[in-house]
């Protein structure tokens, strides 16, 4: 990190590396990732400042469908508005989703993410705007005529039908031949590992099994886009985590486009290649999980995604791509200048807790560039041992509280700090993100 | 731990309460009716023989038992007055229940799809007629249907008919009265089933390619069958034994079993034949009840 390339590009490069590490990335993806100035795929919201977006690399796409033109996304949402009375559940939202993507809509409850998903399924009709699937406007098309299927949060399995008949329901409606239906159902049952349960009714299944039936049923018609509405919310934590991995594996294997709605940021980050964060009917940021976490577009995003330390302050000096910011609570902090020039001098610095390292005497001078280090001194007030991590609260001498989380890399507690202990909290200029709003 | 152990003593007492009630107010009276049905009519007080006199000693009771016979039941199957009454009752109940289902289902379906606030109001509208005495409501229909009643006056005023039509004392009037009176009993169980149905099921059906009409027949209707069964039985069983409505609104040329029973009992003073008719009616109605019970059992089992 001797070249201070700026946090955004650095992270972008890391993101691309991570993406490229996934199996069989098409050549296009690498080429795109290698571009010095990657173009933004998503025009999130013309009014809002553009997030420092990197091209989302479609590594997961095995073969683009012939209808999708080279630069035409599979699904294009154009300035869509949905009103319930005076309430704008979705407010002039635009979004492009490429074929083969695993896209997550993340947001707090009531942010409009489910309404957006329901418009894609056809259960709600947009008041304004267009929804283009493969270039055709489907905004007014009825649900049963869309090549899109949904997996419901409640699963919505037909209680009077067996597992087999639930999965076959959509195939029968499509007028498929009997033998073909039987073959497809068997394939789906094997895909979600439900062999032997075909004759059971939904009431005779566990929560995890129901979830699988719902997934198999929604995949059986081989939709162009699979919509998943909080698909794992009803499962317990362990099962949810293993199912997340299975969903990813499944999506990769089928090469299908998945759009998942979730309020669980860990879930979104685990499964999705790209995440759209929604608030109050608008997209706040569309980015890869890493970008979202390391380069949040706004203070709101920084706080919504993960834990963060925030310090308000004024820009004092700017030189050598470094900003010195005088904060109210933590003195002067040096951070890397963001790629996009600042328009205001009143800013906010966001530092993730795991970027804040604690030590008894501060960093050894040869370990990092000591002239550019941020050192804050204080007293440990709270220690939360979480197994893999320990989270600390440090009351700084300036009065502010700083959160730090440190990986417990050693089994013995030589690295641990206890309440009341004086420590030096330090982080590099690249660890902080400057936010204007 | 056995399942019994979780019930405390008061809970166990409460659990047998319905059986005590049924024994006192159903089984014992039914025993009386059955006994009278096996007796012979007589001009006496009470108007049948034999009479069990527990004070007369064992010999007299033995003789009384010997005097019981199935003659009244033989009469019921040999006289076509009774057979026709039973048949008419079954036909009237069948036709009325079918009409009730055809009218009640769409109403219940519509109610269940209203916004929550309107559902409560619709429910009130269905129930409110109960606040007026049943008999008064039937008399009101007589008023509407009679020769110079409201219906004929409206038809005449609209020039739809040249002279008043005969409504009263026809089967149409009776069916109208029955359907009007029993409609809430059909609507409420159907509404209960339809209202608690997860709307996501219909969305799922649509999502999987079912157009609204087939979504109804493939999802809504099969899932509402328990409500259909409950509504049909709630209407069918009492309509078979209906007395007031056919007596007030239908003609007197053919009788339902309830009317025949009434005639035997009050006009002919033939208590034994009336009792026998009642016992046979009960036996007829047990069949659909057993069927319903088995249906419910199956429903419960499939839920576990």
**Domains of chain A, with CATH numbers?**
53-297 (3.40.50.300), 307-435 (2.40.50.100)
Check pLDDT > 60 for residue B285. yes
Average pLDDT (B38-65) is: 84
Task: Write down the mean pLDDT value for chain A.
Answer: 82
Look-up of token digits 């399995």: A157
Residue B235: band (very low, low, confident or very high) from pLDDT cuts 50, 70, 90? very high
Check pLDDT > 50 for residue A61. no
Residue A60: band (very low, low, confident or very high) from pLDDT cuts 50, 70, 90? very low
Rounded CA-CA distance B250/A104 in Å is 68
Domain of B218, in residue numbers: 72-302
Domain with residue B221: its CATH number is 1.10.3720.10
As for how many domains chain B has, the answer is: 1
| Residue-level pLDDT at A343 | 82
Angstroms from A277 CA to nearest CA on chain B: 25
**Is some CB atom of chain A closer than 8 A to the CB atom of B207?**
yes
Check pLDDT > 80 for residue A5. no
- Is residue B86 included in any domain, yes or no? yes
- Is residue B236 included in any domain, yes or no? yes
Check pLDDT > 50 for residue A18. no
B211 and A144 in contact by Cβ < 8 A?
yes
More confident residue, A97 or B65: A97
With beta carbons less than 8 A apart as the criterion, state whether A308 and A325 touch.
no
Which of A22-26, A102-106, A335-339 has the weakest average pLDDT? A22-26
Cα A80–Cα A81–Cα A83 angle in degrees, nearest 5: 155
| Residue-level pLDDT at A351 | 94
Q: How far is CA A113 from the centre of its chain?
A: 13
Q: Which of A149, A158, A223, A227 to mutate to test the interface with B (most CBs of B within 10 A)?
A: A158
Which of A112-116, B25-29, B37-41, B61-65 has the weakest average pLDDT? B61-65
What are the percentages of helix, strand and coil residues in chain B, rounded to 5?
A: 75, 0, 20
Nearest-by-CA chain A residue for B224: A160
What are phi and psi for residue A202, nearest 5 degrees?
-50, -35
Average pLDDT (B136-141) is: 93
| Residue-level pLDDT at B8 | 67
**Is some CB atom of chain A closer than 8 A to the CB atom of B193?**
no
| Residue-level pLDDT at B5 | 59
Partners of A75 in the beta sheet? A97, A133
B208 and A173 in contact by Cβ < 8 A?
yes
Residue B162, token pair as written in the block: 């040249």
| Residue-level pLDDT at B249 | 92
| Residue-level pLDDT at B303 | 55
| Residue-level pLDDT at B252 | 81
- Is residue B38 included in any domain, yes or no? no
Rounded CA-CA distance B264/B258 in Å is 10
- Is residue B13 included in any domain, yes or no? no
A150 and B207 in contact by Cβ < 8 A?
yes
Check pLDDT > 90 for residue B122. yes
- Is residue B16 included in any domain, yes or no? no
Residue A368: band (very low, low, confident or very high) from pLDDT cuts 50, 70, 90? low
Residue B60: band (very low, low, confident or very high) from pLDDT cuts 50, 70, 90? confident
Which of A68-77, A142-151, A231-240, B174-183 has the weakest average pLDDT? A68-77
- Is residue B48 included in any domain, yes or no? no
Check pLDDT > 80 for residue A160. yes
Angstroms from A340 CA to nearest CA on chain B: 44
Check pLDDT > 70 for residue B101. yes
Interface residues from chain A to B (CB-CB < 8 Å): 121-123, 142-144, 148-150, 152, 154, 156-160, 169-170, 173-174, 201, 203, 217-218, 221
Check pLDDT > 70 for residue B81. yes
With beta carbons less than 8 A apart as the criterion, state whether A123 and A148 touch.
no
Q: Which of residues 54-73 of B touch A (CB under 8 A)?
A: none
Check pLDDT > 80 for residue A233. yes
Give the percent of chain B with pLDDT over 90.
61
Q: Which of A124, A142, A144 to mutate to test the interface with B (most CBs of B within 10 A)?
A: A144
- Is residue B42 included in any domain, yes or no? no
List CB contacts (< 8 A) between A201 and chain B: 302
Partners of A151 in the beta sheet? A228
Above 0.90 for ipTM, yes or no? no
Q: 3-state SS of chain A?
A: CCCCCCHHHHHHHHHHHHHHCCCCCCHHHHHHHHCCCCCCCCCCCCCCCCCCCCCCCCCCCCCCCCCCCCCCCCEEEEEEEEEECCEEEEEEEEEEECCCCEEEEECCCCCCHHHHHHHHHCCCCCCEEEEEECCEECCCCCHHHCCEEEECCCCCCCCCCCHHHHHHHHHHHCCCCHHHHHHHHHHHHHHCCCCCCCCCCHHHCCHHHHHHHHHHHHHCCCCCEEEEECCCCCCCHHHHHHHHHHHHHHHHHHCCEEEEEECCHHHHHHHCCEEEEEECCEEEEEECHHHHHHCCCCHHHHHHCCCCEEEEEEEEEEECCEEEEEECCCEEEEEECCCCCCCCCEEEEEECHHHCEEECCCCCCCCCCHHHCEEEEEEEEEEEECCCEEEEEEEECCCCEEEEEEECCCCCHHHCCCCCCEEEEEECHHHEEEECC
Check pLDDT > 90 for residue A13. no
Rounded CA-CA distance A109/B106 in Å is 36
Give the percent of chain B with pLDDT over 70.
96
Rounded CA-CA distance A6/A174 in Å is 53
Check pLDDT > 70 for residue A422. yes
Average pLDDT (A285-301) is: 93
């Amino acid at each position: 990190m001797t070249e201070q390339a700026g946090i955004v590009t650095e992270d972008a490069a890391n993101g691309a590396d991570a993406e490229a590490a996934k199996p069989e990335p098409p050549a296009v993806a690498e080429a795109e990732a290698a571009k010095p100035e990657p173009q933004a795929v998503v025009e999130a919201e013309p009014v809002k400042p553009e997030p420092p977006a990197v091209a989302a690399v479609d590594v997961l796409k095995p073969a683009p469908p012939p209808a999708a033109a080279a630069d035409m996304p599979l699904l294009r949402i154009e300035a869509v508005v949905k009103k319930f009375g005076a309430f704008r559940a979705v407010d002039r939202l635009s979004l492009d989703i490429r074929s083969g993507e695993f896209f997550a809509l993340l947001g707090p409850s009531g942010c409009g993410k489910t309404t957006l998903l329901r418009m894609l399924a056809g259960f709600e009709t947009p008041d304004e705007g267009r929804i283009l699937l493969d270039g055709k406007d489907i905004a007014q098309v009825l649900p049963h005529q869309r090549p899109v299927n949904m997996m419901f949060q409640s699963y919505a399995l037909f209680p009077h039908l067996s597992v087999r008949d639930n999965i076959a329901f959509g195939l029968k409606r499509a007028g498929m031949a009997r033998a073909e239906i039987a073959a497809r159902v068997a394939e789906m049952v094997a895909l979600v590992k439900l062999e032997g349960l075909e004759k059971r009714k939904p009431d005779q299944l566990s929560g995890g099994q129901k979830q699988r039936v719902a997934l198999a049923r929604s995949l059986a018609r081989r939709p162009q886009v699979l919509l998943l509405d909080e698909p794992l919310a009803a499962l317990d934590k362990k099962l949810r985590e293993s199912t997340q991995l299975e969903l990813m594996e499944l999506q990769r294997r089928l090469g299908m486009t998945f759009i998942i709605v979730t309020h669980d940021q860990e879930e979104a980050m685990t499964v999705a290649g790209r995440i759209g964060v929604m608030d109050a009917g608008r997209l706040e940021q569309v980015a890869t999980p890493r970008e979202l976490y390391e380069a949040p577009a706004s203070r709101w995003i920084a706080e919504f995604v993960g834990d963060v330390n925030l310090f308000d302050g004024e820009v004092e000096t700017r030189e050598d791509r470094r900003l010195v910011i005088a904060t109210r609570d933590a003195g002067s902090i040096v951070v890397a200048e963001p790629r996009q020039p600042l328009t205001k001098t009143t800013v906010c610095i966001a530092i993730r807790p795991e970027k804040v390292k604690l030590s008894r005497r501060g960093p050894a001078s040869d370990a990092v560039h000591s002239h550019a280090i941020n050192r804050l001194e204080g007293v440990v007030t709270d220690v939360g041992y979480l197994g893999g991590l320990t989270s600390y609260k440090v009351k700084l001498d300036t009065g502010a509280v700083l959160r730090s989380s440190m990986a417990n890399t050693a089994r013995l507690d030589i690295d641990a700090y206890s309440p009341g202990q004086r420590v030096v909290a330090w982080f590099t200029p690249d660890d902080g993100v400057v936010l204007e709003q | 731990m056995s399942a019994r152990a979780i019930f405390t003593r008061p809970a166990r007492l409460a659990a047998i309460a319905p059986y005590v009630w049924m024994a006192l107010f159903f089984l014992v009276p039914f025993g009386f009716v059955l006994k009278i049905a096996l007796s012979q009519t007589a001009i006496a007080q009470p108007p049948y023989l034999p009479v069990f006199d527990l004070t007369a000693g064992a010999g007299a009771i033995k003789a009384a038992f010997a005097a019981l016979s199935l003659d009244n039941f033989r009469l019921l199957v040999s006289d076509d007055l009774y057979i026709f009454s039973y048949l008419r009752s079954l036909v009237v109940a069948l036709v009325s229940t079918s009409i009730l289902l055809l009218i009640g289902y769409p109403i219940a379906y519509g109610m269940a799809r209203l916004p929550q606030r309107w559902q409560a109001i619709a429910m009130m509208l269905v129930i409110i007629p109960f606040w007026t005495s049943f008999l008064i409501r039937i008399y009101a229909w007589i008023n509407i249907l009679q020769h110079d009643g409201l219906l004929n006056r409206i038809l005449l005023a609209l020039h739809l008919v040249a002279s008043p039509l005969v409504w009263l004392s026809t089967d149409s009037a009776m069916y109208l009265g029955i359907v009007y009176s029993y409609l809430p009993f059909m609507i409420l169980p159907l509404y209960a089933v339809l209202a608690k149905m997860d709307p996501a099921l219909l969305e799922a059906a649509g999502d999987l390619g079912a157009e609204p009409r087939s979504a109804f027949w493939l999802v809504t209707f099969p899932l509402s069958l328990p409500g259909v069964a409950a509504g049909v039985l709630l209407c069918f069983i009492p309509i078979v034994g209906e007395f007031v409505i056919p007596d007030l609104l239908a003609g007197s040329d053919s009788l339902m079993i309830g009317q025949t029973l009434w005639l035997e009992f009050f006009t002919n003073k033939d208590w034994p034949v009336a009792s026998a008719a009642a016992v046979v009616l009960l036996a007829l109605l047990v069949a659909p009840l057993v069927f319903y019970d088995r249906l419910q059992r199956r429903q419960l089992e499939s839920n576990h």
